[in-house]
């Protein structure tokens, strides 16, 4: 079946769902709304910090980090290990810190790091 909705309806028929059109849209709608709100809030909070992070930080370092917050011009980054923190510190001190400050037009004045969980449990 190429159409996912047809496949879902077929599964519902086989599993004894009440009626052929019993797709649980309401349960999905709440989750989608929560996800959209979270994405919009983070986009507003971080501004273009995510784009700057992707532009200036190499992918091998970036994969073991996550943006944690931004307050008072200080961008907080969580790293997965002390080794990643050290490598990131070397990159930032090598001039990337100044490039991020310049590109953010003063919104980011400093980058702070701490070691923690990069992918927190849900």
Tell me the per-residue pLDDT of 83-92, one tens digit each, with 9 for 90 and over: 999 999 999 9
Q: How many folded domains does the chain comprise?
A: 2
Looking at residue 122, the DSSP 8-state letter turns out to be -
What is the residue whose two structure tokens read 């649980």?
Answer: 24
Q: What is the CATH number of the domain that holds 86?
A: 3.30.300.130
Output the pTM of the full model.
0.63
* 67 within a domain of the structure (yes/no): yes
Q: Provide long-range contacts, Cβ within 8 A and 24+ apart, for 12-15.
A: none
d(CA 80, CA 85): 8
Q: Which residues, at least 6 apart from 97, have a Cβ–Cβ distance to it below 8 Å?
A: 110, 111
Residues 52 and 38 grouped into a single domain: no
Q: Are 104 and 73 within one domain? A: yes
- 54 within 8 A of 67, measured Cβ to Cβ: no
Query: Residue 98 is encoded by which pair of tokens?
Result: 């100044």
- DSSP-derived 3-state class of residue 21: coil
Q: Tell me: the pLDDT tens digits for 33-42?
A: 888 888 888 7
């Amino acid at each position: 079946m190429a159409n996912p909705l047809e496949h879902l309806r077929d599964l519902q028929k086989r599993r004894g769902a009440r009626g052929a059109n019993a797709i649980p849209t309401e349960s999905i709608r709440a989750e989608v709304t929560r996800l959209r709100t979270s994405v919009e809030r983070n986009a507003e909070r971080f501004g273009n910090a995510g784009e700057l992070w992707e532009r200036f930080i190499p992918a091998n370092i970036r994969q073991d980090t996550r943006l944690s917050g931004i307050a008072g011009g200080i961008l907080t980054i969580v790293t997965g290990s002390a080794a990643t923190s050290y490598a990131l510190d070397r990159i930032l001190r090598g001039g990337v810190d100044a490039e991020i400050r310049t590109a953010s037009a003063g919104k980011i004045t400093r980058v702070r790091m701490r070691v923690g969980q990069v992918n927190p449990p849900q």
